[in-house]
Structure 1
Amino acid sequence: MDVTDLNGINEYLTFSLAGELYAINVGNIREVLGVPRITRVPRMPEFMSGVINLRGNVVPVLDLRLKFGLGSTEITEDTSIIVTEIDNFFDDDEENCFTIGIFSDNVEKVETIEPSAIEPPPKIGIAIDTEFIVGMGKIGESFVIILNINKLLSGHELLDSIQEEEALS
């Protein structure tokens, strides 16, 4: 199976959402933050919680629970924002990645998951979009859903977020 790791990186940041374990390749992770003040931007899609100020930069924040149909994220002392970079979104050479924050109920730890321990996304006989899932990683006796952050949002959804971000700048 082609796991699309980033330059041979087999390490993944694991985090929980609605009681399930998810992971993102550490090559896409910029940093993990506590939840700062979030500014809601009018007309953003419902799953976009708003924007944060990250050292003077406007960074949109995605609520994965809403995106996945799991209800909205409740902000607790364990809630974090994982700041990620989506690669090769822009066609020009000046900017080739897009920075976005993602809510997590709880950040767990970095795990090494070898490509041989990753199974393809399940096929359950109905048409569901699993393009944003790299696969199901095995950690001990448990599975972790490995996300492809580069395919989590469609180009249209990202373009809407970028236009909102540029309007604030």
Structure 2
Amino acid sequence: MATRNRMPPWHDHFKAPSGRELLIRPIRPEDAAPLQGAFSLFGPEEVRDRFLQAVNELSDQTAERLTHPSPKTEICLVAAEPENPGEAVVGAIARASIIPGTREAEYAILVSRFLAGQGLGRQLMRKLVKWARGKYLDRLYGYVAEDNLPMLQLAQSLGFERVDNHPDAANGLVRMVLELDT
């Protein structure tokens, strides 16, 4: 492939079975307003699973933190319309962050109910695993609601193991862990 046709790192086109085309890319500061605007597209169950409480809007502080990840310890990807950052509707967000003082990272993925079940979660999870391996981490883990069977099955299909008795797992959450053989 010619150099001029290559996409920047961590960018990828995604075409859903529904025909919707998205661009998976690193989050940008300009995405804060569209992310806050699209927050209502995420179902209440999805938001509660990620924030452990009912949240109706994404605060300015949270949007600022998400749109300014530390490149050494975090990655935050969005799946958005193939428009300029700041103009594109964001339909999914995936984040991994290294836990200070460890060789492990915690992940979180939030996919709009309009895009769920189309393979986008799998694509985002693969990118987070690739990032974690590139950082030479020992493990990648996240918490999934015990009634979120599609996400539990997705994680298990990618090699994650369910840890039901972990002390951090609470409130109906299951810890899913992938041991990275880097």
| TM-score, normalization by structure 2 | 0.24
Compare the two structures and name the one with the higher strand fraction. 1
Compare the two structures and name the one with the higher helix fraction. 2
| TM-score, normalization by structure 1 | 0.25
Larger relative CO (CA 8 A, sep 6+): 1 or 2?
A: 1
